[in-house]
Amino acid sequence: MFKKENSIKIGATMPIAPPLLLGALVLLFAIASPAAADPYLGGVPLTTENGTYGTVTGDLWFDAYPGFDQAYNPDLVWNSSTLPCDPDDVTWARLYIDSYIGNMQANYSQKVTTEFYNGSGYETLGSEIMNTTYTFPADGGSGPVWINDHCNRVTSDFLIWYDVTDIINSSTASTIVNVSKPDGSAPWDGRVKAIVLVVAYNNQSCNVTHYWVNQGHDTDSYLTDYYQSYTGNTTFNTSAVYTPGEANLTVLPLASFNGNYTFNNDDQLTWANPHQGSYFQWQSWNVTSLISSGIDSYMTYGRNEEDDRPQYSGYFKIPLALLTVEDESLIYDFSNETLGRAGICLFAYKSQTPLKAPSANDVPNTEFVYTTDPTDSDEYQKIKYDDGQFQDNQAANNNYAAHRFVFNVSCCSNASYFDAINVTWNGKGLNDDGNGVTLYIWNYNTGAYEQLDICSDAAEQTLTGEKIANLGDYISNDKLITLLAEQNSKTDRYDSEIYTDYVKLVLKQ
């Protein structure tokens, strides 16, 4: 599922790290508790929180320039990619730059200026200055140095990243990197190890793919493993996948030699050492058979202990691990990252109903406002994500505030084959005569609503429900599924108000 394009340049060898003191190692392992990163050199563990998680109807793609040219180029290092999608279909994109400092601890200061092509010209993303030493935790130091919230130093690497989702306005994505000292003179080294662009995109297919970008800046070295073996780890919340299908895992280490990896306690993943760059590479595996429904996934990583070449000393570093899992269930919500599109085959209606659980499935019948004009209110926008943004409506006298949702699942060709209908609604309902909301699904066979869930709290709530029998009763011949979220009390002495934050329909397969 991962798609990549390669711009390969072969570079030079990395200077050997200086020897470290035995006494510091002995002290470290005498007092240290289990660490989340290399306890000798220090590192930033790989986590989804540092990167991202989401769903798309397309895929997760990356392109990489493996850098480290033989001679330092004092002017520019650039990477040019052709995206696999239209710019409007990009839902998340992040650009990574790694510049080599030249020493694991010394302060060889750098100023790294990055420009990115925005469709009409190059836009400067930032000029980041690294002007600090690095001290190993084994020597009493703090390890990773955070320059700001989007760049850090771990040993001899200056890692920088920028979110470029809103900057991509062309199918060509080009990057220019200039490395100098803060005063503008040539740096001590300053070669660029890697430029990586990671993009999640839609293509309106009849599949939803969950993707994870687990980001960090972790290390593993012989210096630690000589006294106590260290294995890094990272977790992917694959329990969010309803019906796991094809799954692919990719690692992108900043190392001269690949590491050892396991996934979900399986045996070591086999690999080739592709050497796309002297000190940057990537490796992918199909891990479909290793994903289990309802269970999170776990990857371990560490240096290759058989890599005992003295000139490299078994040093390993990794900033990125990418995972995609195709969901074989059909997921519909009002975002652009699942099946269907708001106002085209997914519809939301406001504001009120005359009865509690009305006898007809066509009220309320005023559609939410959909607009691309930034000066107007887009009511569909407010229910795209579970993010605390509410579409709120108030009922007139003797009516119940309500939101109705109609999902035309015929937009997906295989929507006739499923084992359960699962519904999630998030929001709140307010009325001093009785707070809360009731969630219903329409039964086309009986011509009536059936209750799925109810709450009586004024606070935001998540209501859920599932049907596993007689599923044809809940889908019309036109393949419509109708849901209703209705405030529990009508407007009389007090106003009946409903607030919807998010709604989702899943046809489980």
Q: What is the pLDDT of residue 36?
A: 59
Percent of the chain predicted with pLDDT > 90: 72
pLDDT band at 275 (very low <50, low <70, confident <90, very high): low
pLDDT band at 312 (very low <50, low <70, confident <90, very high): very low
162, 155 Cβ separation under 8 angstroms: no
Between 373 and 456, residue with greater pLDDT: 456
178, 291 Cβ separation under 8 angstroms: no
Q: What is the pLDDT of residue 126?
A: 97
- Rounded CA-CA distance 491/429 in Å is 12
Query: Which strand (E) or helix (H) includes residue 134?
Result: none
Q: What is the pLDDT of residue 34?
A: 34
Between 509 and 348, residue with greater pLDDT: 348
The amino acid that residue 173 corresponds to is A
Q: What is the pLDDT of residues 193-240, one digit of tens each?
A: 999 999 999 998 889 999 999 999 999 887 766 666 788 999 999 999
Q: What is the pLDDT of residue 413?
A: 65
Alpha carbon distances (Å) from 365 to 3, 117, 317, 353, 369 = 43, 45, 57, 9, 12
Mean pLDDT (the chain) is 87
- What mean pLDDT is predicted for residues 299-314? 66
The residue behind tokens 């993943």 is: 269
3-class SS of residue 456: coil
Tell whether the model's pLDDT for residue 331 goes beyond 50.
Answer: yes
The values of phi and psi at residue 479, to 5°, are: 60, 50
Between 9 and 138, residue with greater pLDDT: 138
Between 37 and 278, residue with greater pLDDT: 278
Q: What is the pLDDT of residues 485-497, one digit of tens each?
A: 999 999 999 999 9
Judged by average pLDDT, the poorest of 64-68, 343-347, 373-377, 395-399 is: 373-377
From the number of C-beta atoms within 10 Å of its C-beta (0-12, 13-18, 19+), residue 12 rates as middle
3-class SS of residue 314: coil
- Give the number of other Cβ atoms within 10 Å of residue 309's Cβ: 10
Tell whether the model's pLDDT for residue 30 goes beyond 70.
Answer: no
pLDDT band at 373 (very low <50, low <70, confident <90, very high): low
Q: What is the pLDDT of residue 271?
A: 79
Q: What is the pTM of this model?
A: 0.88
Query: Which strand (E) or helix (H) includes residue 222?
Result: helix 222-225
Sequence spans of domains, the chain: 3-327, 330-508
Tell whether the model's pLDDT for residue 311 goes beyond 50.
Answer: no
Cis peptide bond N-terminal to 364, omega within 30: yes
Query: Which strand (E) or helix (H) includes residue 22?
Result: helix 22-31
On the CB side of 505, CA atoms within 13 Å amount to 29
Is CATH 3.30.450 what the domain over 330-508 is classified as, yes or no? Answer: no
Angle, CA of 40, 260 and 60, to the nearest 5°:
105
Tell whether the model's pLDDT for residue 15 goes beyond 80.
Answer: no
Tell whether the model's pLDDT for residue 18 goes beyond 90.
Answer: no
Question: Which residues, in sequence order, are CB contacts of 406 under 8 Å at separation 6+?
Answer: 346, 347, 348, 349, 480, 481, 482, 483
Q: What is the pLDDT of residues 91-145, one digit of tens each?
A: 999 999 999 999 999 999 999 999 999 999 999 999 999 999 999 998 899 999 9
pLDDT band at 255 (very low <50, low <70, confident <90, very high): confident
